[in-house]
Structure 1
């Protein structure tokens, strides 16, 4: 029997307008009442998903959790207690950031464990962040020296052209010698996390903390940064709008897109008793 669902947010749980459908909210409440934990597993910071947790009914509850920064932090919702955190060395983050600023057309996001800082923002990205309800602080700097006293969880860079993102990744790979975990997400980001950090390892680590085996975990996702969790847990589930690699890795591909009550379909196919 499955005891925990870890779910990506953007383009998976969340509809295109950034909301969760009323049916899926009711289903998540039903799952909780049946003893199944519903854990957002997201690239976002845990501070930015508090309104979502309120919506799904797990905000500030003991024994309920969020996985943030693509696995960089595991947080218990009660008092936002950080159970596990991994940091990207400042020198590495700074080197990647400088390379991005030299490109001129990349929007940079610097994630500390409590805030998101955005540099070189463009209008499509401003609209996207506002649609998703992401609180951020704009800053203007050619380096990350202002972060010397703060822990950095990850750095990500936005451009709507995948070719641009891919070329930047290749530039970082050729220049930065430190090992990194690199993923693409939301058809707009290339993300740089500390080495050996991913959503799958974090889901399993959380399960070990609370007595749930990997075979008792379901993962729901749509994009390449979700592959690790779909491949490592008991059942990987892809939404219908998932990229081909995610659908190939999944044990179950839903008929529902992120706009069509995916959690409800998952519940009906996996949990509902005839």
Structure 2
């Protein structure tokens, strides 16, 4: 099979546990781009945060961010945006404020979060290592619902960080009963992402593929998280990181090394070294232009 697009998750995939990208990973991305492969990031992160990683990899392609709700190469000219309505945002926030959790409304320009005291060490690490650029405005308020009363917001995504998995499960079930306008995505035992109905990493990848004229079977996707499963299952070659959980690995066609063992670099070298450059394949009429 000839692959024309490589989709990469960021956290737990491209980034090592220290938050950095290994030199070999950067070289692998450069190598695969030289072969004419379209490389994109498909992430739960905000667009500015994804763009920061893209710059480090010298990517100028369209990025699938906010779980698929915001697709762009530059913030000024997104090709696709879908938002949670102001009314649903307010009602969901009011409900979630009844739980001990941090709520973060994430737009492409700023984030708005409550000043919830966090006792879980893992949660603290997750919330405060989001990778947002310095210029990205992060506002913290005592009550998000009160702030929304004064200034309504319609974000592409809401992040919710719980201290207890039981609370997460209760909130997820209740939100799914209460709202048909949103989808609830479980990333791990302590975090939910709330997005507009029909939005996912897979939906974003599908939209991008249609825009580029690249089918799912011509794509490779690499990820490690529960929210990566749908795209890993749908593409031509779905790859799970060595550090991924059992469910992600079970969904994958191939399992590479962990993020600290340069899993992305290893996978790229194994699967793309024998593939001829895309331009050559078009010239030989092996693939359509």
TM-score if structure 1 supplies the norm length? 0.89
- Aligned with 1:15: secondary structure? coil
What does the per-residue CA deviation read over 1:146-178, in whole Å, with 9 as the maximum and x for residues that have no partner? Answer: 442x4310112102432221122122223x232
Q: Does 1:16 align with 2:20?
A: no
Aligned length: 265
**1:109 corresponds to which residue?**
104
- Aligned with 2:90: secondary structure? helix
Q: Structure 1, unaligned stretches of length 5 or more?
A: none
Q: Structure 2, unaligned stretches of length 5 or more?
A: 276-289
**1:230 corresponds to which residue?**
232
User: Which residue, 173, 177, 180 being the options, matches 2:179?
Assistant: 177
Point out the more displaced range, 20-29 or 115-124.
115-124
The residue correspondences of 1:29-40 to structure 2 (distance < 5 A) are 29-40=30-41
RMSD: 2.0
Q: Does 1:43 align with 2:38?
A: no
What does the per-residue CA deviation read over 1:36-65, in whole Å, with 9 as the maximum and x for residues that have no partner? Answer: 12211111111123321221002xx3xx11
Between the aligned partners of 2:144 and 2:182, the Cα distance in structure 1 is 22
> 1:24 and 1:66, CA in 2 relative to 1: closer, same or farther beyond 3 A?
same
**1:164 corresponds to which residue?**
167
- Aligned with 2:11: secondary structure? coil
> 1:146 and 1:54, CA in 2 relative to 1: closer, same or farther beyond 3 A?
farther
8 Å CA contact 1:181, 1:192 repeated in 2: yes
- Aligned with 1:42: secondary structure? coil
- Aligned with 2:83: secondary structure? coil
Between the aligned partners of 2:150 and 2:7, the Cα distance in structure 1 is 34
Q: Does 1:72 align with 2:69?
A: yes
Shift in Å, 1:132 = 4.0
**2:280 corresponds to which residue?**
none
Q: Which structure has the greater CA radius of gyration?
A: 2
